[in-house]
Amino acid sequence: MKLILTEKKQAAKMIAVAIGVQAHDKGGHFENGEYTITWAQGHLIETCHPEYYDKTYKKWSLENLPIIPSELATKPAKQHFKKIKLIKELISRSSEVINACDCGQEGELIARLIFKHCGFNKQHKRLWYTSLMPAEIKRAISDLKHSADFDDLYTCAWF
């Protein structure tokens, strides 16, 4: 089964219709024998607050600025624990994972942060589309890109 992750439910519906997957919500996803399609509901993962790095940062003061951690820590947004758990389960039973989040820096960042949090660090495919019209979706499905082709897009999304 191939998993397609979109950023929004509406995009998931349109992709489902274009590739022949029944767009009936099965508890946060659509599926048929070949594809499972789920959506991120936007930003499921957020950056940690400054006090995560050091308790002295809980109260802001000019003396503590700038706060520049060596690596930005992330965590699931509290209201989205259930969705993250579902996506992790869907990833675990998938033979291939396809990022179909919005094309651009933010969509790339959203998908990869979700993948990272779910413990998925394998290569995946990228559905790169210019519209959600059925013909464009079918074209993009037949021309999936390698995730490595978008590493720079992901990296620049952090800045």
Beta-carbon contacts of 3 under 8 Å, excluding residues fewer than 6 positions away, are 35, 36, 37, 38, 90, 91, 94, 96, 97, 98
Residue 71 has pLDDT above 90, yes or no: no
DSSP-derived secondary structure for 107-155? HHHHHHHHHHHTT--S--EE---S--SHHHHHHHHHTPEEGGGGHHHHH
Report pLDDT for 154: 93
pLDDT tens-digit readout, 7-32:
999 999 999 999 999 888 889 999 99
Distance (Å) of CA 141 to CA 46, 62, 89, 99? 29, 51, 23, 11
**Which residues are paired to 51 by β-bridges?**
none
Distance (Å) of CA 106 to CA 13, 89, 131? 20, 24, 17
Report pLDDT for 72: 86
Q: Is the peptide bond before 66 cis (omega within 30 degrees of 0)?
A: yes
pLDDT tens-digit readout, 99-155:
999 999 999 999 999 999 999 989 999 999 999 999 999 999 999 999 999 999 999
Q: What is the pTM of this model?
A: 0.90
Report pLDDT for 23: 80
